[in-house]
Amino acid sequence: MMEYKTLGQFIIEKQAEFPFAKGELSRLLRDIGIAAKVVNREVNKAGLAEILGSFGQTNVQGEEQQKLDVLADQEFISALRRGGECCYIASEEHEEGLDFSSSEGSSDGKYIVCIDPLDGSSNIDVNISIGTIFSIYRRKSASGKIMEEDILQQGLNQVAAGYILYGSSTMLVYTTGHGVNGFTLDPSIGEFCLSHPAMRIPENGNTYSINQGNFVNFPPAIKEYVKLCQEENLSYGRPYSLRYIGSLVADLHRTMLKGGIFMYPESVRHRKGKLRLMYECNPMAFILEQAGGKASTGKDRILEIQPEELHQRTPLVIGSPIMVDIVEKLYAELAG
């Protein structure tokens, strides 16, 4: 009988990779795994438990909140707060971050967590894959009240990042800067088990992922690349296949496994891009780079952007390095 390594076992084994930590990061990752199981349970019974549909409010992004958005947000915040390793949470669902640095029992927390509790929530009601994205930073200040410099850090400073995909199976994929590993939830034992060790993205691919309905609003470089994807003279000898789910986690998980490119560029409507830097683009860029991929705005490396605000937006071009390189070349040639 095949023996599986659980997420908890794997985290403990890898703890030695962090000489500055004394088990705090391991416990923090464990807490995220626990919250993911709870959210997965609710997602799986959503149609029966009357938690589908709109919550009746909008979040800080001006987007209509779904009931599962609110539930996932509450579950992750509760788990992170209870664990005591986290001193600050930045969530897509809150205009201001949640500062636990002065809370009783939380003053020793060393980590900042940026999270999109339920990515792709517009797909909830139609039973299409959705996910959670998280990013972890170590606070810079020694103690006391959280400072702006603790929160607004470059993606290069992430100590861990990951995503949870709630699909035909539930997967947790994460990196701590030492490669990328994927874990599949075994519902029979209630544990995430290592199923995709040392994940690597192919250097090239034959699929592209973009909301092509917005073509007329794309910058010149992206328009030109989409045209190239539709031509016969590519290295694969035929046009590329368009694959677009509309859930960042699902689209990038496919891209990670199969190769390809995902693009959410700036547009006439969203001059600075639409995806959020801190809790969508930075964690995904960290994961993809650790798997051998590349993440860019089309002009600049995502992980080198210095954030200026919590909910900052940015264009995103991410995936197989050969494909991203072509887009960057087009931006340089066409002054995007």
118 labelled binding-site residue: yes
116 labelled binding-site residue: yes
Look up residue 138 and give its amino acid: R
Look up residue 111 and give its amino acid: Y
280 labelled binding-site residue: yes
Nearest CA to 279 out of 122, 82, 139, 89 is that of 89
121 labelled binding-site residue: yes
| β-bridge partners, 88 | 99, 112
User: Other C-beta atoms within 10 Å of 66: how many?
Assistant: 23
* Residue 173 to residue 165: CA distance in whole angstroms: 8
108 labelled binding-site residue: no
92 labelled binding-site residue: yes
244 labelled binding-site residue: yes
Q: Can you say which residues are annotated as belonging to the binding site for substrate? A: 119-122, 211, 244, 274
Q: Can you say which residues are annotated as belonging to the binding site? A: 92, 116, 118-122, 211, 244, 274, 280
Q: Can you say which residues are annotated as belonging to the binding site for Mg(2+)? A: 92, 116, 118-119, 280
